[in-house]
Structure 1
Amino acid sequence: MSTALAPTAQLLYTPEEAATVLRFGRSTVYELMAAGELKFVKRGRSRRIRRRDLEAFVDNLEPQSV
């Protein structure tokens, strides 16, 4: 019988990790943060993006018609 724990979902993402998850460029993520479109938390010089803020950002994206 194994006592291994299930992997925990990541709660905070660096801007670089968020860019990977969103499939955006790193610069785009920093621009979204600066514009206030993507919320983040700051601790010292570090900026982190909460998983729920990434999900809220994606949920608020408007679909484009071709």
Structure 2
Amino acid sequence: MNQPRTMLTVEQAADAIGIGRTTMFALLKSGEVESVLIGRLRRVPVSAIDGYLGRLVAEQHGPSEVEA
């Protein structure tokens, strides 16, 4: 059984939203996208990507267009 991933590598997270690895690391460093360390591995929860994209749309289009 193949379940959807809940955690992504930095590269997978960057690819998921169509940005480069360096840009994703900058978003992680600034705290705009949350991540966790599992041992020495940096992982990005899918929910953190969804939250970031939701905030980005809300900032650029306002809440009325997001709800529509």
Q: Which has the higher helix share?
A: 2
Question: Between Structure 1 and Structure 2, whose CA radius of gyration is higher?
Answer: 1
Which of residues 25, 28, 53 in structure 2 aligns to 1:30? Answer: 25
| Deviations 1:11-36, CA, capped at 9 Å, x for gaps | 10000000110100000000000001
> Structure 1-normalised TM-score?
0.81
Question: In angstroms, what is the RMSD of aligned CA positions?
Answer: 1.3
Q: What stretches of structure 1 of length at least 5 have no aligned partner?
A: none
Equivalent residues, number? 59
Structure 1 runs (4+) greater than 6 angstroms displaced: none
Instruction: State the partner residue of 1:10.
Output: 5
Quote the Cα distance in structure 2 between the aligned partners of 1:57 and 1:12.
Answer: 15
